[in-house]
Structure 1
Amino acid sequence: MDTRKVAWHEAQWLNEPPRVDIDGEHLVVATASNGDFWRKTSYGFIHDNGHALLAPLPNGSAVEITYEARFEAQFDQAGVMVRVDERTWVKAGVEFADGLPQLGAVATREYSDWSLAPAPDWTGLPITLRASRSGDALTIRARKGEGPWQLVRVTPLAPDAVASAGPFCCSPQRAGLEVRFTRFVVGPADGSLHGGGLP
């Protein structure tokens, strides 16, 4: 499988944002208010109204998303989403929580779970998220700027599941988070659990 750029118009919006602009090769998005992706756990609610731009992600492939954003309000977030349906999905990226940027992921199979690690030095840098699908696993990695890849999460994904993936963003506490997505590429899955990224 060759690595290729996904044109913004090739993918389909799940909950199109109120503002979407094409700036050269970049996609600039401004979020609606109170958007989020979450199912049940601890909070007791179901939110499925964040913004995601999705293209097919068959088994044996990977997707990388690069973006820039200024996170200022509680739970501002952006990154990559891999989605089977409203009950089965993963989102991963940087989220502003408890006063600082955090690198983490939410894996949802009927119920959401959430893992975070502080990432204060990721502010002001391009952020790249990579989701690699191989066999029964989805492996999430991230890096800031041109730095090394960091493993974020390994989570199950059924080999025969029909999934799609792409950039996502939302801002549960406000409207108007602006995210500039600069790269959306797909290619072959990683050759090993501890691997690199797409060229």
Structure 2
Amino acid sequence: MFNKWINEPKYFNKEKETIIIESDAKTDFFVAPASDYLAHNAPIYAFDVQGDFTLECKVRPDFKAYYDAGAMMFYVDEKAWIKFAFESTDIGHPAVVSVVTDGASDDANGEKVDSPSIWMKLSKKDKVIGLYFSHDALEWRMVRLFQFDVKNLDKASVGLEAQSPAGLGCKVAFSDIKYTDKAVEDMRKGI
């Protein structure tokens, strides 16, 4: 399934069913809407996708600095991508964060998460993207549902990302990885 890197990691390992990715310092994917900050250097372990799909996994980042995160990425090119992250936010706690980039990035902090890991799910149906998270992989909460209508949508990749924009690096464990070439049946409920 995973067969290419978009930016090399500092460290990578596969341990049974767990993928470990560690980013270098000052790594991120973000195109600031209100400044000239631009970054597209975080490592993404990816594979090409066409049509509908769903990617799900458990994400456990080793948080050390603000913005350290483990994320799922839907990547078209440097100016068009979606980052769905479990991040150490600058509002004082880890949260589910989504960033949609079409030229410039938006940035949306979601719910506070008190556990060291969460399950995340990214699903695509035609041009509609659903982002969901769960504490137990049974009950899913929608974080965001939107249309992503960009050029070259049929030449995209999906993958796992580790980042550390303000820190010295972040190690992330991705486990319980499931992929299907179908969207979820209910795009609001994520099931």
Q: Which residue of 1 aligns with 2:39?
A: 47
Which runs of no fewer than 5 residues in structure 2 stay unpaired?
none
TM (norm. structure 2) is: 0.89
Q: 1:82 to 1:185 in 2, by over 3 A?
A: same
- Sequence identity, in percent? 22
Q: Which residue of 2 aligns with 1:116?
A: 109
Aligned equivalents of 2:42, 2:136: Cα separation in 1: 25
1:32 shift after superposition: 0.2
Aligned equivalents of 1:39, 1:196: Cα separation in 2: 28
Aligned equivalents of 1:179, 1:47: Cα separation in 2: 19
Q: Which residue of 1 aligns with 2:21?
A: 29
Aligned equivalents of 2:101, 2:30: Cα separation in 1: 8
Aligned equivalents of 1:23, 1:60: Cα separation in 2: 29
Amino acid at match of 1:130: K
Aligned equivalents of 2:111, 2:124: Cα separation in 1: 26
Which runs of no fewer than 5 residues in structure 1 stay unpaired?
1-5
Q: 1:120 to 1:67 in 2, by over 3 A?
A: closer
* Contact kept? 1:65, 1:79, Cα under 8 Å: no
* Contact kept? 1:65, 1:166, Cα under 8 Å: no
Amino acid at match of 1:13: W
Q: Which residue of 1 aligns with 2:164?
A: 171
Aligned equivalents of 2:148, 2:125: Cα separation in 1: 9
Q: 1:145 to 1:119 in 2, by over 3 A?
A: same
Q: Which residue of 2 aligns with 1:138?
A: 129
Aligned equivalents of 1:101, 1:112: Cα separation in 2: 20
- The count of residues paired between Structure 1 and Structure 2 equals 187
Amino acid at match of 1:76: D
* Contact kept? 2:44, 2:161, Cα under 8 Å: yes
**Secondary structure at the counterpart of residue 29 of structure 1:** strand
